[in-house]
Structure formats: C-alpha cells, structure tokens
Structure 1
Amino acid sequence: MMILASASPRRQELLGRITSDFQAVPAQIDERALPLLPPAEYVLALAQAKSREVAGRYPGERIIAADTMVAFGDEMLGKPADEDAARQMIRKLAGQTHHVHTGLVVRQANGQEESRVVTTAVTFWPLSDAEIELYLQQNSYMGKAGAYGIQDDGAFLIKKIDGDYYNVMGLPLSTLVRML
C-alpha cells in the first residue's frame, strides 16, 4: 500500500487512475515556515517536507507527496481570498503565458527518496472584462491556485498548454508512473 501525503480530493482522484491501493494522509506541516524560494524550488521543498513528515508517522511505507503552484514570472499565485482577488489574477494571466510547477516526491519504504519538479506552460486567451466577469459568476475560481482549474470552467480561459495536462490539475501522472 502507498500513502498519498495529501487531503486534496483532486490528487486522490488522479492517483486513483493508476492504483486503488493507497491511503490519503494529509501532511501536518506549516507551509509558511519554509523560506520563500523561487516557485519551482518552493514546491519541491514543500513536497519534500510533506513526504518526510508523513514518513515519520508511517515508517516503512511508500509515500507520494506533491505540491503545485501557479507562477507568473517569479510571482506565486495561490488561492484567491475572494472574487476581487480572483479577478485580479485572471486579468494578470489574460493573454499571457504562465507556468504551473509541481514538486513531486516518491519516498520508498526503505527511505530512498526521488524528487522532481514538473513544469507546464499555460497560455490564456486575451480576455475582455465581460468574459472575466462571466467566468467569475461560475464561482469556479474558489479554492484554486491561480483562480482557475483546467478541469472545469477554467478550461475556457486556456488557449494552449505545453506540458502535462494532469500537472496543471495537481499531479503529473506520467512522471509519477515512471518514478514508481
């Protein structure tokens, strides 16, 4: 059996596409305690911290940990606090290319750890204020880093991606399968 160091229903759904033999166990870490690093390094540090914390509670188990961040340049775009914050994020990303980084760690039962960062470039269509407002009315931005989810109404904002679709959802499956 594997342990997924996450409470994310989306990550659980994605991992369920490749195995049903896992248990989801949220990591108990203070993400704010980590030093602020460039986005790709930050998500890797978070995934490593999650892996190690859960491994401490479940020694001898295979642990999968991931952390995903939307980045516009060096600016990390987390989950918007409210509709106005979501509006600002979507306006910033409209007509631009940004990156989604996922730090991914697989810790084997013997403690050996392999880690990677998977990056996907996402380009949004240019968006009018009316299009942004229509998107915001759907409330799809809530609880989503960068104020969108590629798997729901956020798909209509996206002109193209270069990289792993599932990475944008939060768990790069093709990389994970190879690591396992």
Structure 2
Amino acid sequence: MDLNKELILSSHSPRRKALLEKLRIPFTVNAIEIDETIPDEVHYASGAEYLAVKKAKAHGILDNETIILAADTIVVYNDVIYGKPTSREDAINTLTSLSDKKHSVYTGVCIYSAEKQISFTEQSEVKFAPISDEEAGYYFDLDNPIDKAGSYGIQDWIGFVKVEYIVGSFTNILGLPLAQTQQALLSFLQDDK
C-alpha cells in the first residue's frame, strides 16, 4: 500500500506498533497524552471509538501531507468497562471478574487528516476458563499487564492457558483490527483521488 503521505500512529502501545508494521507501510509514532475518561453519555460500545477520535484530534491542525491513525481498546462485561488496571490488586479483581465468562473487546480506530476523518469500532468476544486469584496473581507477576485493557494480553500466558475461545478478529483483541484498518486506509486514500 502506497500512502504518498506521512502516516503517524498516535499510540503508546507496542502491540499496535507491531501490528501496523505487518501492513508494510512506513509510519512514525507520535502519541499525545489525553484524558481517557469516557463520558457517561457515551455508550460503552462507542467508548473506544470516542477515545480514538479524541487521540487523533489531539494532534491539532494538520498539513495536507499527514494522516493520523489512532486506536483505543476497552473490555466490557455486564455493561462495565474494564480499562487498564491501576494496580496488581485491580488486575486480579478484573481477571477474577472475567473468570469463566464471555466478555467483549471493542477497539475504536480513527483515521484523520486535514481534509476528513473516518472512524469505526470492531467488536470481538473472548471466553475465559475459570481463573483463580492465585492464577491471576501469577499472571500479573509474570507478564505485568498494567498497560492492557481488561488487565490481560491474549498473546500472554493467560491467553494461552485460560482463553477457551474467541469470536471475531484476533488482531482486534491485540489492539488493532488489521484487516478492517487496512480496508479503512484504502478507502480513506481512494477518496483522495
């Protein structure tokens, strides 16, 4: 894919960077810190997209040769959003709350330039096997998921031994739905011609 523009990934996530590299397009990383609070009036299914748009727009006014790609991921179970854990105890509580249950993973993506923006949300489902407090603590000490929505990474130990099944995009659960992002970028660029 030839962008003919500068693509900037607005994310601190090493997983998003690694995923975007799989598309074999040149990009740089420049993430701007934002308040990641989702307002009460924003439905949880739209929360990740709300944050992705906010991250993209935080870059301000762009020149005509720049495209921002921003994304955010949240985990939802029983209408409760599980973001990044604040502590070991918080992570253990989250994981045991998700234990033996199916939850949703939403990733919002925003592609933004001086001329336009498009955004979308991808949803996947993950079903965990039972997770004990001891297993959750072991996982935290092993892989330190402090920067991961829902207190886990599906590519980590817990994903290999405790995920019974997923429905939907695997890369979405990692933090960037690649097939959908590539199609959105192609559509975004096609509109420029």
TM exceeding 0.5: yes
Question: For residues 45 and 152 of structure 2, what CA distance do their matches in structure 1 show?
Answer: 19
Q: 1:110 to 1:82 in 2, by over 3 A?
A: closer
Partner residue, 1:118: 122
AA paired with 2:63?
A: P
1:90 to 87, 95, 104: 95
1:58 counterpart = 2:94: no
Aligned residues: 177
With 67-76 and 22-31 compared, the bigger mean Cα shift is at 22-31
Report the counterpart of residue 47 of structure 1 in structure 2: 52
Distance of 1:7 and 1:58 partners within structure 2: 20
- Residue type matched to 1:125 in 2? A
Partner letter of residue 127 of structure 2? Answer: T
Q: How many angstroms apart in 1 are the aligned matches of 2:137 and 2:114?
A: 51
Equivalent position of 1:138 in the other structure: 142
8 A contact 2:127–2:166 mirrored in 1: yes
Percent identical pairs in the alignment equals: 33
What is the deviation of 1:17?
A: 0.8
Question: Does the 8 Å CA contact 1:66/1:103 hold for their aligned counterparts?
Answer: yes
CA contact (8 A) 2:92 2:133 kept: no
- Runs in 1 of length 4+ with deviation above 3 angstroms? 128-134
Which stretches in structure 1 are left out of the alignment for 5+ residues?
A: none
Quote the offset at 1:104 in angstroms. Answer: 0.8
Distance 1:135 1:9, change over 3 A: closer
What is the CA–CA distance in structure 2 between the aligned matches of 1:28 and 1:134, rounded to whole Å? 30
Deviations 1:94-126 (A, max 9, x none): 11000110111122x452211110000010012
- Out of 61, 79, 83, the position equivalent to 1:78 is 83
Distance in 1, Cα, partners of 2:68 & 2:137? 41
- Shift, 1:57, TM fit: 4.7
Q: What is the match of residue 154 of structure 1?
A: 158
RMSD: 1.8
Give distance in 1, aligned partners of 2:163 and 2:29.
30
Contact 2:49 2:72 in 1 (8 A): yes
Q: Judging changes above 3 Å, is the alpha-carbon distance between structure 1 residues 22 and 78 closer, same or farther for their aligned structure 2 residues?
A: same
Kindly provide the amino acid, as one letter, of the partner of residue 23 in structure 2: I
TM-score (normalizing by structure 1): 0.89
Change (3 A) 1:28 1:142: closer
Distance 1:52 1:142, change over 3 A: closer
Alignment correspondent of 2:72 = 67
Shift of 1:23: 1.0
Q: 1:11 aligns with which of 9, 12, 16?
A: 16
User: In structure 1, what is the Cα distance between the partners aligned to 2:136 and 2:10?
Assistant: 34
- 8 A contact 1:140–1:153 mirrored in 2: no
Q: For residue 43 of structure 1, give the secondary structure of its aligned residue in structure 2.
A: helix
After superposition, the C-alpha distances for 1:158-177 in whole angstroms (9 at most, x for unaligned) are 11100111111111101001
Residue 160 to residue 2, structure 1, CA distance change in 2 (3 Å) = same
